[in-house]
Every structure is written in C-alpha cells, then in structure tokens.
Structure 1
Amino acid sequence: MKKLVFISVLSLFSCKRNNPVHPPVGGVLSQNDLDVSKNRMRNLNAIERQQIQEWIKGQNEKFFPTQLNYWTNVEGFDHRERRPDDSPISYSYDLYDFDQTKIYDKSISRADARFGHFDELKAVENALRYMKNGEEVTLLVPSSLAYGTYGDQNKIDNDIPLIIKLKAL
C-alpha cells in the first residue's frame, strides 16, 4: 500500500514539473516573451502591408499611405488641419474584409463623441481627426490598427486586416 501511495505522489509531482507555466491574462511577461511578441507583430505587419499593397494594385480607385500605417482614398489626407482634443464629432462606419464582404449588417455609429475620450479603433480615431464634416473616406487597415491579435470576440477573427468605410456626420 505504501508503494502505491509513493508511486502516486511521485507521478503527480513529475506531471506538475513538466507543465509549462503561462502568465494569467494581464499578467507579467518576461522580456524574452515581449521580444517574441514584438517580432511577431513586426513580421505580421510587414506581410499585411505587402498584401494590402498588392490588393491596391488590382483596384480602380487610388489609395494613399498615411503616417499611421493605414491607407485612405484621399490624397494628402493626414496633412490636413487636425481637429483638437475634446472637440465633438459624430460618425458611422462599416467594416469589410478584403473580399469586400460586409462583416456586420448594421453600421457602427457614435454621436457627439469627444476626441481623447472615446474608445475606438486607432485608425478610425486618427482618420476622424482629419475628416471634414459630411465627408466619407475608405480606410485600408492592417490588423495591428484594427482588432489585433484578439479579434472582436464576435465576427472578426484575430490578425484580420479590414476595409473601413467611414463617414463624419
């Protein structure tokens, strides 16, 4: 009986020793883990940028790169006057994949949002700062500026670049 207990305890300890330790969500990662993640995102971003540029070549409409790493169909877009923080804006947008399939049937809309105080995709908030009231623009956004490595936990998977049709109301 003692042998059976000893073998059971020994096997439990040996199993426990071989399990990799994963930090909890929001936990602390080592510098090596952070470097691996940073390199993964850098490589993914380079691949997505190349794929988006190839997609643009097949389009009739012209797209222009912006300083924040997305494209828009308006030349000189991010060289316009920039809206200040705390200024209000109302807007709506639709999300598409690069097959130009609309992801959600209903547009995403916000009324009287204030810059610096609303939680939005980085590319959307940045583009809204340069848009004129009533203007519509199309954004081509790599996944790092969209829903990133987690997706939206609904219809948008992780690491998916998006086409965003944005309107400043």
Structure 2
Amino acid sequence: MKNSTRIAVVFFLFLLISSCKQHQEARRPISQASGSFMKKSIARNKKLVSTEESQIQNLIKSNPNVVYLASKKGYWYSYVTRNTTDTLTPKKGDVAFFDYEIKDLKGTIFYSELELRPQTYYVDKQNIMMGLRDGIKLMRKNEKVTFLFPSNMAYGYHGDDKKIGTNQPIICTVTLRDFKSEVVYKKESQLKVSTPTVAPPIKKEAPALSKPQDTLTPQN
C-alpha cells in the first residue's frame, strides 16, 4: 500500500513538472528577429544623414559671405543679429519668448514668423523639435540666429503632418526676444490677473449752449 502511494505521488509530481515545462515553453517566441533588419536600418539612416549633410554643405558653400558654425549636436548656425554684451543664455527652469520661421533648403517658406508668433517655451520641459530645443540655449537676449537642421534634428521621418514632409532638412530663423525664470514669469502672470484693469473715466459732453432770447428789444 505504501509503495502504491509513493508511486502515485511520484507520478503526480512528474505530471506537474511536465505541465510547468510545457507552459514555460509555450511562452517562447515562435521566431527571434535577426540583426539583419537593424543593420539595414542603420545603413539607411547613415546614408540619409550623409545625403542631408551634403545638401547643407552645398548651401553653406553657396553663401560664402555668411559664417556658419558647426554645433556638437549635428546642425549648423549663423548669427544674423548678435548680442556681445550679455552673457546669459536660457537654461532649464527658464521661460523663453521667441519668434521663428521655417523654410526648406531652397528658401521656400513652410511657416512664416507671422504665422507662428508668439512662442512661449518652458526650457527643456516642453516637446519641441530637437534642434530648436538645443539651439535656443545657445542664444542671448535679442539675438537672431539662422539654424540649418537635418531632418533628424527637425521633424524626422514623420514630418509635422501638415506642410513639412518626411525626412525634410530645414532652415529655421529664430529671434529670442526675452527669457526669464519660471518663478518671475509666474509672479508677473499672477500680478496681471489679480490687478483689475481700470477703465478710463468717461468724459461727459457739456450741453450745447442755446442762444439767449432777446427780451429787451421790442418785437414789431
């Protein structure tokens, strides 16, 4: 009887282990992706970057009187208006106020400054194009800078789903009007809300003077 019980227990454990093993094997992926797709994708991206960089370099060479600087992030920029007096630039925790326009490398305007103004940007806390996110932190107050962004620093593969298409390098001209800390900006905003606007007093027009009636001259 004891042997039968032991055999039954062993058989039960065997079934339990087999069931667990089959259950675990069922979770394995049917096929594992090879590295060939990733290699092809990397090769395509490298070719795209190389092509766009060549286009940008041709644009720079076609404007020999304009000095373009290469950034560490893979874009180029040139000063239209430079502020050599101030030293501060926007940083995380600041609010930047700027205007900008976007063109393709041939100069065709996608969005004019008038269409896009005004811009209020919480530095490093809002989702804007990668190039502008980095480039605006290079600028001083009242500077105007032209940026040449390859597509990976602009709107990427998807574009903006409106005027800017897929893999589109762009020219972005930015004017940094001002920037200040978030604390100061919030205080100023609260002050504007709490301070009532006093309407100018309404001027009452004086009644028109009627000509006095002559009661002394006898009437015929």
User: Does the Cα contact within 8 Å between 1:87 and 1:115 map onto a contact in 2?
Assistant: yes
User: Does the Cα contact within 8 Å between 2:70 and 2:77 map onto a contact in 1?
Assistant: yes
User: Does the Cα contact within 8 Å between 1:132 and 1:168 map onto a contact in 2?
Assistant: yes
Partner Cα distance (2:70, 2:53) in 1 = 10
* Residues 72 and 33 (structure 1), Cα distance of their counterparts in 2 relative to 1, 3 Å cut: same
User: Does the Cα contact within 8 Å between 1:48 and 1:161 map onto a contact in 2?
Assistant: yes
Superposed counterparts of 1:2-151, under 5 Å: 31-59=35-63, 60-74=65-79, 83-105=90-112, 106-109=114-117, 111-151=119-159
| Count of aligned residue pairs for this structure pair | 137
User: Does the Cα contact within 8 Å between 1:90 and 1:111 map onto a contact in 2?
Assistant: yes
SS of the residue corresponding to residue 95 of structure 1 reads: strand
Partner Cα distance (2:118, 2:35) in 1 = 38
**2:165 is equivalent to residue 157 of structure 1:** yes
Partner Cα distance (2:48, 2:162) in 1 = 22
Partner Cα distance (1:73, 1:66) in 2 = 11
Question: What's the offset of the Cα at 1:33?
Answer: 3.0
User: Does the Cα contact within 8 Å between 2:100 and 2:175 map onto a contact in 1?
Assistant: yes
Question: What's the offset of the Cα at 1:81?
Answer: 6.1
User: Does the Cα contact within 8 Å between 1:137 and 1:166 map onto a contact in 2?
Assistant: yes
Question: Which structure is higher in RCO with an 8 Å CA cutoff and minimum separation 6?
Answer: 1
Q: Give structure 2 stretches of 5+ with no counterpart.
A: 1-32, 178-220
Question: What's the offset of the Cα at 1:131?
Answer: 0.6
Question: What RMSD over aligned residues (CA atoms) do the two structures have, in Å?
Answer: 2.2
User: Does the Cα contact within 8 Å between 2:77 and 2:148 map onto a contact in 1?
Assistant: yes
TM-score (normalised: structure 1): 0.72
Between the aligned residues of both structures, percent identity stands at: 24
TM-score (normalised: structure 2): 0.56
Q: Give structure 1 stretches of 5+ with no counterpart.
A: 1-28
* Residues 118 and 44 (structure 1), Cα distance of their counterparts in 2 relative to 1, 3 Å cut: same
Partner Cα distance (1:117, 1:55) in 2 = 32
* Residues 35 and 62 (structure 1), Cα distance of their counterparts in 2 relative to 1, 3 Å cut: same
Q: Radius of gyration: which is bigger? A: 2
User: Does the Cα contact within 8 Å between 1:64 and 1:73 map onto a contact in 2?
Assistant: yes
